[in-house]
Amino acid sequence: MARNELEATEEAVRAAQARLGLIGAYLALMQFTSSVGVLNPAATGVAWTTFVVKLVAGMRIRSRKLAKSYYQLARALDTGATLGVPEGLEPGAEVSLNRLRQQFLDELLEVNSLGREVADDADELARFLHDEALKASPDDDIESKRGLPLSQVELDKYIQAFLDHEGVDGRVRVEPFEWPTDTDFKVIESSLGDYLRRNLADLEGSLKAKVSEEREDPERREEELRQVHEDAGNKLAGMVHKQGISAGTDAIRKVSGVDQRVQAWARQTGPRPCSFCAMLASRGFVYKNAKVATKAYKDRIRSDGTVGFSVSAYHPNCACTAIPRWESTGKADLPELNAFLEEMWPKVTEGYHGVDALNAWRRWLNARYKMPDGQQSFDV
């Protein structure tokens, strides 16, 4: 639970990006299930590929705007100065905390309205995302069986917490900065389209190989074909989730990497992080130079059992963010969940090293998640 406005802002942006990613994955999976044939996915997946390209492009617009509005507000809350001119203002215009708060709130409400309201966004691709979310009818099988917990990413409580923690208004200094633009749509269309077509062709090859196998039980073979098809849909939906919201994480990574005021980063997770993400969150604040601390690479667990992964390494369907801090980087400033995990890591992994330490950590988390209702997550 957020203790102040900065933490409420960080929790809200994480939850909003998670909602955006899951809705995109859900829409992609619904279309895949209904339109991509089990026996001929390459031929029947042409329209789906076009749909996904536009969907991801729309998600990236929302994700980047959300990330920018968060960064500009959070930096101002922590330092009294923001980076770059907010959307809709001319250079030299006076900027206030309330102006930045409203900008961030508007972006939260845009994501929260997905599937609920008609969009008035001027951008065609952003409207496409809203329109498709509004048209989609809930599919209980896809939501539950395929592991897309849409009900767990409602933003109302995060928006209310953000409003409840609102502080006083004040003038904000604007430091000159040109925010980087996102990947051009034509590049997305080319690279993502090629990726999807290759995956559909590979899927068709796998399915045809299954068909050619001699089986005495036709029903068993049909079930295996459906499973291969379903697994491919899940994998591609995870890709949509990651590619759609990576515009926001990439923007934060790039900007914080050159922002000289940034002092540290921490991994922020959702209420039920996987063992990998909880391990990264247990590092607390990472005080490193920008190029090292924000690089999304896969380190290995060190031989002494300590954590050796980048705070911004993400897996498919990941709901985490790497939060930069500019001044509030003391021990008491660490979000409560991170502080709890930082305290528990050495206790849980005592006597273990390397992969064994991570396995011990995973067992502890799984046991915690099996606790009675009200104790399953990290409500510290």
Domain ranges of the chain: 5-258, 264-369
Please state the pTM of the whole predicted model: 0.86
Size of the chain, expressed as the number of residues it contains: 380
Residue 121 in tokens? 């966004």
> HSE of 38 in the Cβ direction (CA atoms, 13 Å)?
12
**What's the CA angle centered on 15, arms 12 and 21, to 5 degrees?**
140
Q: Which of 244, 183, 193 is nearest to 23 (CA)?
A: 244
Radius of gyration of the chain (CA): 22
Question: 103 Cβ partners below 8 Å, 6+ apart?
Answer: 69, 72, 73, 86, 87, 88
| pLDDT for res 360 | 95
Residue 225 reports pLDDT greater than 60: yes
- Mean pLDDT, the chain, rounded, equals 84
Looking only at the bridges linking them, the beta strands covering 95-96 and 81-83 are: unpaired
CA angle 311, 298, 193 (to 5 degrees): 100
Q: Cβ(309)–Cβ(279) under 8 Å?
A: yes
Q: What is the pLDDT of residues 26-48, one digit of tens each?
A: 999 999 999 999 889 999 999 99
State residue 104's pLDDT score: 98
Q: What is the mean pLDDT of residues 292-315?
A: 44
Of the pLDDT bands very low, low, confident and very high (cuts 50, 70, 90), residue 138 is: low
Reply yes or no on whether the pLDDT at 21 is more than 70: yes
Per residue in 164-182, pLDDT (tens digit) is: 999 999 999 999 999 988 8
State the sign of the Cα–Cα–Cα–Cα dihedral 50, 52, 55, 57.
negative
- Structure tokens that stand for 134 in this block: 């509004």
Longest Cα–Cα distance of the chain, Å, equals: 76
> Residue 101: is its pLDDT beyond 90?
yes
Cα 266 to Cα 173: distance, rounded to the nearest angstrom:
25
